[in-house]
Chain A
Amino acid sequence: MKHRNDALVKLGLLALILAAMSAGTRHGYFADLLVLSCVFGILAMSLDLIVGYVGELSLGHAAFFGIGAYTSTLLVKSGTTGFVGGVLAAAVVPALVGLVVGAISLRLRGPYFALATLAFGEGLSIIAKNWESLTGGPMGINGVPKPVFAIGSFSYAVETPMAAYILGAVILFLVFACLQYVLRTHTGQIFVAIRENSDLCESLSIPVFPYKLLAFTLSALFAGVAGSLYAHYTGFISSEVMDLRYLVTPLIMVLLGGRGTLFGPLLGAVVFTALPELLRMAGSARMVTVGFSLTIILILLPNGLAGIFQQLRQLRATQPAEAMETGRRGQ
């Protein structure tokens, strides 16, 4: 019972924070940062599922983000589907690709898996750069339609920054709730068990491979949703969405916030969306900072910002006990 309450409290807290942050959308520049924070928040949470919970380093995540972005852009721009259909397709297609890629690469683990997924991501990035008739290559596709909700004759276009933020926040909330639900079920517990000791899991006849494949597919699915939102919000995508930048930045968000938590990556997403923008860094200078900060964060904050909170909580929990211990020793 207590656990269920705990989950609801976290959801309520997230809803409150998201609602409070909407105040920032009055200023156009901050609104932009907030919407992008939502997009990268979804991406970071999806990456955390595989990196933080299952404990495998997936370096092909930018590809799923890109596949999602392109799927919904191409569908909506050609008028095949509306925005909702585009987002759904941007969830399904990366999930299917994730299923196939996972089926091959998850036979490996640790370093082998990391490099196999990196090769997959880089291979796809090369294809995106060169298949210009489909992706527009590095020049990209302009004028990706803004999100439009149409039911019958009624239609609503998401155009104001406020509306874009609300859309992003709602989807972020749904993804959070979904991930939280999955992680609290038996399946989620097995994910963590695999991270802690996958050999032991296998010896207890827990089939590790299908669970990993499930996590990988889910993480591809949500990355695709993030990609679709990104494309429709910014109105422009190019083969750059599969670049190294979109691979390393979400990793930093996860690690800065704290892997294996859901709030951590969100916090990391807000910080690492805002910081480079506020410091007005672009291009290579930005990537120099991003790269080295990843390394520095790992050395200084191995458990991320969430780790600090956990340490504080532990400190508070152990203090009375320690006081008693020393008191007894004093007697």
Chain B
Amino acid sequence: MTELVLQQLINGLVTGMAYSLLAVGFNLVFGTINIINFSHGAFYVLGGLFCYVLVSSMGLPYLVALLLSALVIGLVGFVAEKTILRPLRDKDPLVMMLATLGAGVGLESLAQALWGATPRTIPGPMSAMVQIGPVFITWQKLFIIAVGVVSIGVLHFVIRRTTLGQSMRAVAQSPTGAAVVGINFEWVYGVTVLLGAGFAGLTGGLLGAATAIYAFNALPVLIKSFVVVILGGLGSLPGAVVGGVLLGLVESLSITFLPDAFKDVIGYGVIIVVLLFRPQGLMGVSKSR
């Protein structure tokens, strides 16, 4: 029993790290532009499928493909920001969110049309098992944890310590104010979505090699990012990490004790409970909404 629980805990940790990566990208866009990017799930799916194509059809090494797919999806995000959100800059946020919803649904359906309903597993080089004490885990899953820690750490550094990060925080507070002091907020918006989409694409490539990537997964992934972000607190980077890991752990423990179908319902239950009792999230700062 203890071994089973430990095994589930380590699996939950991996899933949780993937959730954190998703939520970090989602949070970044929300924190800076103050809209919800409804294309986030589609970016995840496209990232995974693109990585799959690069590895299995074009024979690129997995690591190269992973980096390339994160980069390409990031660029797609940048272009989408400039073509879709820029013309709507003076409209109300509802319109901007709907525009991302439309683009997300379009991209997701395109992925479904191209790749159909078969889940694909990216043939990665790290599918071998390794034993740590009483539990077994693939190298790929350890790799996910490592990439998660490193990339979120780097992002944290970028946001806290670099000029770009400073500009992002300034634009988040007031685009006009940022423009007054000479920050090119159009550029900052673009880079923000580039990073957000890039994180989604990266997670797609990571999870696609550990489990599978599925063209119909965009909406569940979007909602999962939202659950994590609500749990951790909107706009809080540490919150996204803690929320992601927590949700991953709770979900995988729930499979041990409850029927499988309950796993997703837990996420929705979490939203309701958190919104009712601690709307600012676990790590969020209370502010009026």
Q: How many residues of A contact B (CB 8 A)?
A: 45
B104 contacts which chain A residues (CB < 8 A)?
A: 291
* Chain A residues closer than 8 Å to B81, beta-carbon distance: none
A112, B99: Cβ atoms under 8 Å? no
State whether A251 and B110 are in contact (beta carbons under 8 Å apart), knowing that A104-B275, A108-B275, A116-B275 are contacts in the complex.
no
Task: Please name the residue on chain A nearest to B100 by beta carbon.
Answer: A295
Given contacts A122-B219, A291-B109, A294-B106, 17 further A-B contacts (CB under 8 A): A51-B94, A57-B98, A107-B275, A108-B279, A111-B35, A112-B234, A122-B223, A123-B264, A252-B102, A284-B109, A287-B112, A292-B103, A293-B102, A294-B98, A295-B103, A298-B98, A302-B91
How many residues of chain B get a CB closer than 8 Å to chain A's CBs?
A: 47
Check if A88 is an interface residue, CB within 8 A of chain B: no
Contacts of A119 in B (CB 8 A): 223, 226-227, 267-268, 271
Q: Distance (Å) between the CB of B88 and the closest chain A CB?
A: 7
Report how far A283 CA is from B34 CA in the complex, Å. Answer: 33
Residues A291 and B93 in contact in the complex (CB < 8 Å), given A104-B275, A111-B36:
no
Shortest distance between the CB of B272 and any CB in chain A (Å): 6
Whether A18 sits at the interface, judged by CB under 8 Å, is no
B220 within 8 A of A: yes
Which residues of chain B have C-beta atoms less than 8 A from A209's C-beta?
none
Min CB–CB distance B200 → chain A (angstroms): 16
A294 to B219, CA, bound (A): 17
Complex CA gap A284/B218 in Å reads: 14
Q: What sequence of 0s and 1s flags, for each residue 34-48 of chain B, a beta carbon within 8 Å of any chain A beta carbon?
A: 111000000000000
Nearest chain A CB to B169 CB, angstrom units: 19
A118 partner residues in chain B, CB cutoff 8 A: 222-223, 226
A interface footprint on B64-96 (CB within 8 Å = 1, 0 otherwise): 000000000000000000001001100111110
B113: chain A residues within 8 A (beta carbon)? 283-285, 288
Is A19 interfacial (CB-CB < 8 Å)?
no
Contacts of A251 in B (CB 8 A): 98, 101
Q: Which residues of B contact A116 (CB under 8 A)?
A: 271, 275
Q: Does B132 contact A (CB under 8 A)?
A: no
A126 contacts chain B at the CB level, 8 A cutoff: yes
Given contacts A130-B261, A284-B109, contact A120 B36 (CB under 8 A): no
CA distance A110 to B97 in the complex (A): 10
Name the residue on A nearest B96 (C-beta).
A298
* Cβ of A244 under 8 Å from chain B: yes
- The main secondary structure of chain B at its interface with chain A is helix
The winner among A105, A289, A295 for most chain B CB atoms within 10 A is A295
Which are the 5 A-B pairs with shortest beta-carbon distances?
A294-B102, A291-B106, A291-B105, A287-B109, A295-B102
Q: Which residue of B lies closest to A51 (CB)?
A: B94
Question: Footprint of A on B, CB under 8 Å?
Answer: 30, 34-36, 84, 87-88, 91-95, 97-110, 112-113, 219-220, 222-223, 226-227, 230, 234, 261, 264-265, 267-268, 271-272, 275-276, 279, 289
Q: How far is the CA of A298 from the CA of B98 in the complex (A)?
A: 8
Q: Which residues of B contact A287 (CB under 8 A)?
A: 105-106, 108-109, 112
Q: Which residues of chain B are near A114, meaning CB under 8 Å?
A: 36, 94, 97
Query: Which of A55, A57, A288 is the one whose CB lies under 8 Å from B109?
Result: A288
Please, which residues of chain B bring their CB within 8 A of the CB of A324? none
Known: A111-B35, A299-B84. A248 touches B272 (CB 8 A): no
Q: Is A255 an interface residue (CB 8 A)?
A: yes
Q: Does A184 contact B (CB under 8 A)?
A: no
